[in-house]
Amino acid sequence: MEKVTLITGGSRGIGRATALQLAAEGHWVCLSYLSRREQAERVVEEIQLQGGKALALQVDIANESSVQALFAELDSRLPPISGLVNNAGILLPQSAIEQMDAARVNHILTINVTGTLLCAREAVKRMARRHGGNGGAIVNVSSAAARLGASHEYIDYAASKGAVDTLTVRLSREVASQGIRVKGVRPGFIDTDMHAAGGAPGRIARVQATVPLRRGGEPREVAEAIAWLLSERASYVTGSFIDLAGGI
Ligand code: NAP
């Protein structure tokens, strides 16, 4: 049966690396983007040049009807979905709690938590045996911040990733009998655009001495773990995480 996998946030960073990795392993890849269509189309071209199958679609995971429209389009254009990588997520500029307002916190939670849950819901509706599906696997991209906090910087982001961890474990129990495995990865400091979005473009250089392996990680190092978790090689893994954080 063909492996068909949706990767949210596939235009850049960890999502892009995951799309390339999964396509190289024979998945039909749908990579979504929020606004950077050209970057997403370049990833599609890169995959197609290597003989893989890929498609880029726009979605705002914070918007329920946008998520529903994305899955409806997938239904009409691709074979049934067998994998979801819930990767899209955001970080906002570093801030102490005194400067955090409800709008900021709700914005992060809506994308990182509600968006992740909505995409998982649509995937379950298609994968679950009780809905006529063939099962599948969901990998949620959490963060080492869920364990370590990011105090004085991004406690709202850390809280959102703590919620993703709880969602991952509890959803895994809810859908295990439906043939769906749900697991997560918790990257540490990975070299992507996200740090600039968080107001600290040089963050990895600044913190790498605190990492036992003495460096930040590359997106492809996270992608390798995601690809393994999605595969049949990880057929007995559900409700647990791989930490990819150089020892922190
Ligand atoms: P990134 O380079 O900033 O890329 C973010 C991706 O998410 C982009 O493809 C972006 O689309 C998409 N996106 C943003 N908001 C969206 C929305 N509302 N709806 C749909 N798509 C949206 O991020 P990254 O560093 O690769 O991070 C990917 C995941 O890993 C995130 O969940 C992040 O929290 C997690 N993570 C990252 C690190 C790290 O050190 N980088 C560490 C731990 C965890 P556009 O390109 O169109 O804007």
What residues act catalytically? 157
Strands 53-58 and 83-86: unpaired
The reply to whether CATH 3.40.50.720 applies to domain 4-244 is yes
User: How large is the average pLDDT for residues 52-58?
Assistant: 98
pLDDT in tens, 110-151: 999 999 999 999 999 999 999 999 999 999 999 999 999 889
CA 90–ligand 1 middle distance (angstroms): 6
Cα 72 to averaged position of ligand 1 atoms, centre (Å):
23
User: Which residue among 194, 206, 211, 244 has the greatest number of ligand 1 atoms within 8 angstroms of its CB, and so is best to mutate?
Assistant: 194
Choose between 200 and 171: higher pLDDT.
Answer: 171
CB contact at 8 A, 90 and 42: no
The per-residue pLDDT of the chain, averaged, comes to: 97
- Listed in sequence order, the residues at least 6 apart from 132 whose beta carbon sits closer than 8 Å to its beta carbon are none
* Cα 53 to Cα 6: distance, rounded to the nearest angstrom: 12
Q: Check pLDDT > 90 for residue 109.
A: yes
Partners of residue 31 on adjacent β-strands: 7, 56
Verify whether ligand 1 is closer than 6 Å to residue 138 (CB atom).
no
Instruction: Return the domain boundaries, the chain.
Output: 4-244
Rounded distance from Cα 189 to ligand 1 centre (Å):
13
3-state SS, residue 74? helix
pLDDT at 149: 85
For residue 1, pLDDT over 90 is answered with: no
Average pLDDT rounded to a whole number, residues 92-118? 97
Whether 192 lines ligand 1, by a CB cut-off of 6 Å, is yes
Task: Specify the ligand 1 atom closest to the Cα of 190.
Answer: 40
Q: Poorest-confidence range of 38-47, 169-178, 191-200, 238-247?
A: 191-200
Whether the pLDDT of residue 198 is over 90: the answer is: no
Whole-number pLDDT of residue 150: 86
Calpha distance 65→61 (Å, rounded): 9
C-alpha span between 230 and 7 (Å, rounded): 12
Asked if the model's pLDDT at residue 162 lies above 90, the reply is yes
Q: Is the CB of 111 under 6 A from ligand 1?
A: yes
pTM of the predicted protein model = 0.98
